[in-house]
Amino acid sequence: MINISAFLGTVTIYLKFKMVKRQTETSHFISPMFNIVSSIFGLVSCVGMCIVANFQELAVPLIHDGGALLTFVCGVIYVILVTVISCKACPQWSLFLISVIRIIISVVSYIAVVLLIVGASLISILNLKLNTGTKAYLIHHISAISEWIVAFNFLLFFLTFIPEFQRWGEIT
pLDDT band at 171 (very low <50, low <70, confident <90, very high): low
CA–CA separation, 156 and 151 (whole Å): 9
CA dihedral 119, 120, 122, 124 (to 10 degrees): 160
What is the predicted pLDDT for the residue at 115?
Answer: 96
Residue type for 6, please? A
Of 83, 109, 111, 108, residue with least CA distance to 98: 83
CA–CA separation, 40 and 50 (whole Å): 15
CA distances from 3 to 76, 99, 132, 136 (A): 19, 29, 33, 31
pLDDT > 80? residue 15: yes
Domain coverage including residue 150: 1-170
Give pTM, 2 decimals.
0.92
**φ/ψ (deg, to 5) at 116:** -60, -50
Reported as a single tens digit per residue, the pLDDT across 90-104 is 778 888 999 999 999
Reported as a single tens digit per residue, the pLDDT across 16-62 is 999 999 989 888 889 999 999 999 999 999 999 999 999 988 899 88
pLDDT > 70? residue 170: no
> Could you tell me which residues come within 8 angstroms of residue 86 by beta carbon, excluding any fewer than 6 positions away?
94, 98, 99, 102
Q: What is the CA radius of gyration of the chain?
A: 18
CA–CA separation, 87 and 99 (whole Å): 6
Reported as a single tens digit per residue, the pLDDT across 115-152 is 999 998 888 787 767 777 778 788 888 999 999 999 99
Domain tally, the chain: 1
**φ/ψ (deg, to 5) at 150:** -65, -45
